[in-house]
Amino acid sequence: MPEAIRPGSIRLVVGLGNPGKDYERTRHNAGFWLVERFAVQSGAALRKDGKYQALVGRMESNGAWLVMPQGFMNASGHAVQMLAGFFKIPAAEILVVHDELDFAPGVAKMKQGGGIAGHNGLRDISHRLGTHDYWRLRLGIGHPGDRNAVVGYVLQKPPAEEREAIDGAIARGIEILPLCLAGDMQGAMQKLHSVAEKEKPAAKKTEPRPEPKAEPNAAPRVETQPEKPASRGLFGSIFSGRKK
């Protein structure tokens, strides 16, 4: 029997991505990567459910649901709306895990509410729930630098170095999920964000330049003013540049 869930605890964890072999290793599937790994670690089996059009699993320890919508990114809200409606889960008890263009690979941050920043999965979820007030766990994937290149960028595999950084962020995200499931959202954010602050490269300290040492028994340096040229009068100053 699952333990009783405290009010305010996360009861539905949603990983966003696109289904199929063609997309499974692309940046846009970072949300899938986290939920899949968390399901394995927690012993929750993800099974395809035609009614929700998603892979669905439930944790035995507390009854929380894990969901990976299978209707492609722009239809992610269907599974969330159906499952949240049937089990009466409010938006404040839903955590959506997704890729974030505004963060570098390796960064993970969490917040409640806010905009959708052009993310089609978030757009559909917000539209179907009628609110933005669900929680988000955002996994940085970096930005291509040109908004016209975003679609191709998110649907590409990250290079090995970036994937390793994203995997590190996923590991830190999984570490704070037990706090989310226990209702300690502030503690989860503090832990996640404090780790991010610690991992920032420290600013290089510039050592003050030592004052030059005076040579022993050296005579003091005396500043001398250059001698002023003798006045040549009006005609002398006009014709001074001419050769004689």
Which positions are annotated as active-site residues?
28
Cβ-based neighbour number of residue 203 at 10 Å: 6
Cβ-based neighbour number of residue 40 at 10 Å: 11
Tell me how far apart the alpha carbons of residues 21 and 112 are, in angstroms, rounded to a whole number.
31
Cβ-based neighbour number of residue 191 at 10 Å: 16
**String of b and e for 151-167 (b: at least 16 CB within 10 Å)?**
eebbeeebeeebbebbb
